[in-house]
Amino acid sequence: MSLHRYDIRLLYGDYIRAGLGMIATIAPIAIMRPDWPIAMMLGSIGLLCFYFVAQTYIRHRTVVGIDDEGIFIRGINTVSFRWTELSRFNLNYYSLRRDRLNGWMELTVKSGTRTITFDSRLEDFVVIVRRAHAAAKANQLALNGITQANLLALRIY
């Protein structure tokens, strides 16, 4: 069995951005006591930043395990299933720029109602994608064109 986590060094930027966002929105409310429309706007943005901190913390605490039998993810919830139960395999690429550079991939595997999703910042992401792809092939799952193109980008055939 191999265990995989998110490297804290890759999450520092998320923690810093979200923390600064919370400070930049909550501090003016506490110090200046603005009128309610401005306070509501700043408070809403502050809550969004808090949500981002919480999501980053969950990612930080997440552990993904794979072996020849199946996959599991442990974090706030634990989800696991056998590779033979795999019913969906999607690999998507997301970019914030039009040039499609500096993006990230996200793998979603599903069995019945159980879904596991994680992004390419997870250590040994390609190893996990290879193993999940092998299971998808063994289960004769149809892969959409986007997933196939992203597999080719990772040199997984």
The predicted-structure confidence for 43-65, as pLDDT tens digits, reads as follows 999 999 999 999 999 999 999 99
Residue located via tokens 């990772």: 154
Q: Chain centroid to CA 97: how far?
A: 19
Give the residue from 68, 60, 65 showing the smallest Cα distance to 4: 65
User: If 0-12 CB within 10 Å is exposed, 13-18 middle and 19+ buried, where does residue 101 land?
Assistant: exposed
Instruction: Read off the pLDDT of residues 69-127 as tens digits, 9 standing for 90 and up.
Output: 999 999 888 999 999 999 999 999 998 877 767 889 999 999 999 999 999 999 999 99
| Length reported for the chain | 157
The mean pLDDT value for 137-155 works out to 95
Domain range 64-153, its CATH number among 1.10.287, 1.20.950, 2.40.50, 2.30.29: 2.30.29
pLDDT for 97:
76
Strands of 70-74's sheet, edge to edge? 2-5, 63-66, 70-74, 78-82
Measure the CA–CA gap between 102 and 90, rounded to whole angstroms.
Answer: 20
Cβ neighbours, 10 Å, residue 135: 21
Q: Six-digit token pair at 47?
A: 């809550």
Domain coordinates of the chain in residue numbers? 2-61, 64-153
Q: Which amino acid is at 42?
A: L
